[in-house]
């Protein structure tokens, strides 16, 4: 099916801006660096999950669902945007939150995304440590059915072929935007976690015969596992779009080395990247995803991976509410 025929509801402010980062580009002395502002998708503080939810919520409505159920970590951005999307279309929402990060900032379980989940009126189920996540998700969906509800279950990160359509559409949007602005983009760099964003971009760019290469920076400390997920979802997305050929093998590039010890665990490189983007460009990143992806971008530029004549785009996937859950880690030298 063509992308334009797949059911979709409008949730995001689109197109998101494509902006030049002159001071960061100059500081690093390498390629021209632009940012694609998917932190500005507009729904409940924005982020990349909103594009996926345009397709996922449309499917839920087509199936006659009255309740949305999804799962994520305590500070999941996906969960927060899902709660907002459900509120926006008048569906009830159950969120299954797992304690996935051994991080003991006092703000971690009360501030940032989890604060917004409650504010958005979702029913929050906080799982005890060590609970089997998929089992818990199935149990909650079953209990809802037993109570006469019609739940629609969205996987972690909204990452399946339906959700990935949001990023297949983003690929087309970026190509059009670049053409109109007279920019030739060589690389698109972003944080990759549950795989749907990268998979959708790969399928969408492939369908548009684009020359842009996607570099997914692993933020999970399990790059091989992520690459496997991206490969599967990209293939499913390409197939659902009835593309004549599947994306080539070398379209899949997941870069490891910037995740630190585990998902959600801060790194010194991340903190300095977050400070650099803030102080040079007034651009706010997050500690879990975009800060680590920017740390990767900075390091790759410094290693000489790109030439000065090339243009790279950093896809800002959002996540800023998470910053407030790491309050203590960002206390400055000055105590500010």
Ligand X SMILES: *Cc1c(COP(=O)(O)O)cnc(C)c1O
Return the active site residues.
Answer: 76
Residue 47 or 204 with smaller CB distance to ligand X? 47
73 touching ligand X, by CB under 6 A = no
Distance CA 82, CA 104 (A): 25
Shortest distance, position 26 Cβ to ligand X, whole Å: 26
- 250: CB partners within 8 A, 6+ apart: none
Give the nearest distance from C-beta 71 to ligand X in angstroms: 13
Residue 130-159 contact track with ligand X, rule CB under 6 A, x = bound: ---------------------------x-x
Structure tokens at 280: 């040079």
Alpha-carbon distances, residue 135 vs 96, 140, 145, 246 (angstroms): 11, 9, 15, 33
Task: Map residues 214-253 to x or -, x wherever contact with ligand X holds by CB under 6 A.
Answer: ----------------------------------------
Among 195, 266, 296, 321, binds ligand X (CB under 6 A): 195
CA distance 48 to 63: 24
Residue 160 binds ligand X (CB under 6 A): no
**Residue 187, φ and ψ in degrees, nearest 5:** -135, 145
- Shortest CB 116 distance to ligand X, Å: 13
Confirm if 207 and 252 have CB atoms less than 8 A apart. Answer: no
At closest approach, how far in Å is the CB of 300 from ligand X?
17
Cα(161)–Cα(66) distance, integer angstroms: 22
Question: Which residue in the set 46, 47, 166, 247 belongs to the binding site for ligand X (CB under 6 A)?
Answer: 47
Nearest distance in Å: CB 183, ligand X: 23
Handedness of CA 283, 284, 289, 293 (dihedral sign): positive
Q: Which is nearer to ligand X, 78 or 231 (CB)?
A: 78
Choices 55-63, 170-178, 312-320, 323-331 (CB under 6 A): range interacting with ligand X: 312-320
Q: For residue 311, state whether it binds ligand X (rule: CB under 6 A).
A: no
CA-based torsion, 104, 260, 289, 72: positive or negative: negative
Min. distance of Cβ 282 from ligand X in angstroms? 18
CA angle 107, 330, 33 (to 5 degrees): 120
The residue number whose beta carbon is nearest to ligand X equals: 319
Token pair in block for residue 37: 């502002």
- Output b/e per residue, 239-250; b: 16+ Cβ within 10 A: ebbeeeebbeee
Q: Give 15's DSSP letter.
A: S
Binding span for ligand X by CB under 6 A among 15-23, 25-33, 234-242, 315-323: 315-323
Among the candidate windows 145-153, 177-185, 256-264, 314-322, which touches ligand X by CB under 6 A? 314-322
Indicate whether 191 belongs to the interface with ligand X (CB under 6 A).
Answer: yes
**Residue ranges in contact with ligand X by CB under 6 A:** 47-48, 77-78, 157, 159, 191-198, 286, 289-290, 317-319
């Amino acid at each position: 099916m063509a992308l334009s025929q797949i059911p979709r509801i409008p949730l995001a402010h689109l197109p998101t801006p494509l902006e030049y980062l002159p001071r960061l580009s100059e500081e690093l002395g390498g390629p021209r660096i632009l940012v694609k502002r998917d932190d500005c998708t507009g729904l409940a503080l924005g982020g990349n999950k909103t594009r996926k939810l345009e397709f996922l919520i449309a499917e839920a409505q087509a199936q006659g669902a009255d309740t949305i159920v999804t799962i994520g970590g305590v500070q999941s951005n996906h969960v927060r945007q899902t709660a907002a999307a459900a509120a926006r279309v008048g569906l009830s929402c159950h969120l299954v939150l797992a304690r996935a990060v051994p991080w003991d900032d006092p703000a971690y379980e009360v501030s940032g995304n989890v604060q917004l989940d409650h504010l958005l009126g979702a029913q929050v189920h906080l799982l005890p440590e060590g609970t089997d996540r998929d089992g818990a998700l199935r149990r909650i969906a079953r209990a809802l059915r037993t109570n006469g509800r019609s739940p629609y279950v969205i996987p972690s990160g909204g990452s399946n072929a339906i959700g990935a359509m949001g990023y297949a559409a983003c690929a087309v949007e970026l190509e059009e935007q670049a053409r109109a602005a007279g920019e030739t983009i060589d690389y698109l760099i972003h944080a990759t976690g549950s795989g749907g964003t990268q998979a959708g971009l790969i399928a969408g760019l492939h369908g548009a015969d684009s020359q842009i290469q996607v570099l997914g920076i692993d933020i999970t400390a399990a790059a091989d596992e992520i690459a496997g997920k991206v490969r599967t979802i990209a293939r499913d997305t390409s197939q659902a779009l009835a593309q004549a050929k599947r994306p080539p093998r070398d379209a899949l590039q997941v870069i490891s080395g910037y995740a630190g010890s585990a998902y959600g665990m801060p790194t010194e490189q991340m903190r300095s990247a977050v400070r650099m983007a803030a102080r040079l460009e007034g651009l706010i990143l997050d500690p879990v995803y975009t800060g680590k992806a920017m740390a990767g971008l900075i390091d790759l530029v410094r290693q000489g991976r790109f030439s000065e004549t090339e243009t790279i785009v950093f896809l800002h996937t959002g996540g800023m509410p998470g910053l407030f859950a790491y309050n203590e880690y960002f206390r400055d030298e000055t105590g500010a």
